[in-house]
Amino acid sequence: MELSSVKKSEAKKLGVSVQELVLADLLSIGYSDNDAYAIAYPEDQQLNFSMQQANRKKIMSRVAFMELREKRKISNANILEFSGDTADIDLIDTETTAKEILKIAKRMPDGSKERGEMFMKYADLTRKNDAATEEAMDAIQFYFPIKCNQCPLFDAYNTFVRQKGGREIRPVEMEAIIAAAAQIMEKARKKAGN
């Protein structure tokens, strides 16, 4: 069984084998003794049943392993606390997510592959966030309605005229109004010297 360098370095710091660390982790999250042992020590599955039991008891009865098991049970308690009900969980924004990724990356061993990957995730997330912010600020979107009666300017003009007590215009009158407005605008430009 080949595990990540993070697990290997974690096992080395704790002074145990990677297999013992895996066994302790599996036991701490609720696996049975037999199942956890079968996963952590797959090579022992070739042995007869009595030899497997003897090896398992030998490992699990060591004081150092029992202490490791208790430590892992405490550190893995967060996994067991999650109920699976997502109704009461609030979503976090991109900035909070980026901060959490950065915190996790800083806790990882220097030079590890996983630390590099976490920093890459952080960089990707902040780059996407920056691009989205720039896009939202730089982009000006125009809405061109298909029909005059769907136009917000048409609606606003009629609301204004209604409040002043004037006559509202109908959508079919818009072509003539636009043509008249174009002539007025051209005269105003010539008068201004543009």
> Which tens digit of pLDDT belongs to each residue from 116-132?
888 888 888 888 766 65
Residues 6+ apart with CB under 8 A from 58: none
User: How far apart, in whole angstroms, are the C-alpha atoms of residue 127 and residue 73?
Assistant: 38
User: How far apart, in whole angstroms, are the C-alpha atoms of residue 24 and residue 132?
Assistant: 44
DSSP-H helix ranges across 29-166: 33-40, 49-61, 63-75, 77-81, 94-107, 113-138, 152-164
| 90-95, Cβ contacts within 8 angstroms, sequence gap of 24 or more | 94/125, 94/128, 94/129, 95/129
User: How far apart, in whole angstroms, are the C-alpha atoms of residue 7 and residue 18?
Assistant: 7
Which pLDDT band holds residue 98 (cuts at 50, 70, 90)? confident
pLDDT at 95 > cutoff 50: yes
The pair of three-digit structure tokens given for residue 170, joined into one six-digit string: 């109908």
What integer is the mean pLDDT of 148-164?
Answer: 86
Burial of 183 (0-12, 13-18, 19+ CB in 10 A): exposed
Please, what is the average pLDDT of the chain?
A: 81
Which pLDDT band holds residue 83 (cuts at 50, 70, 90)? very low
Whether this prediction's pTM lies above 0.85 is answered by no
Please state, as a whole number, how many other Cβ atoms lie within 10 Å of the Cβ of residue 40: 23
DSSP string, 18-55: HHHHHHHHHHHTT--HHHHHHHH-GGGGGS-HHHHHHH
What ranges do the domains of the chain cover?
A: 5-81, 94-138, 148-192
